[in-house]
Structure formats: C-alpha cells, structure tokens
Amino acid sequence: MPTCFWAAVEDEHRHGAVAVLTRQVALAALLQAFG
C-alpha cells in the first residue's frame, strides 16, 4: 500500500478507532466481493 494510505489510516486512528474498524470491514467486504 502507498505510504499516503497508511498516513490516512493513522490519522483516522487518532480521531477514533471506529473509523479504522469501519474502513477495515469495508476493505474486507470489497476483497470478498471482487477477490
């Protein structure tokens, strides 16, 4: 993953772990749908 992606994830983590969890669930769903 690009460094900017991880920077965005870390920024969201500072704002709240719920946002990160939601992002991870969304990514997992996309991987299952298209993977």
Q: What is the overall mean pLDDT for the chain?
A: 82
pLDDT for position 31: 93
pLDDT above 60 for 28: yes
Banded model confidence at residue 12, pLDDT cuts 50, 70, 90: low
Cα atoms in the Cβ-side hemisphere of radius 13 Å centred on 34: 5
Distances (CA, A) of 9 to 25, 27, 33: 13, 12, 22
pLDDT at 16: 77
Q: How does residue 13 score in pLDDT terms, banded at 50, 70 and 90? A: low
Residue 9 makes CB contacts below 8 A (sequence gap 6+) with 20, 23
Task: Classify 16 in phi/psi space as left (phi over 0), alpha (psi -120 to 50) or beta.
Answer: left
Token pair belonging to 7: 């920077």
Q: If you average pLDDT over residues 7-31, what whole number do you get?
A: 82
Q: Can you give the pTM of this predicted structure? A: 0.48
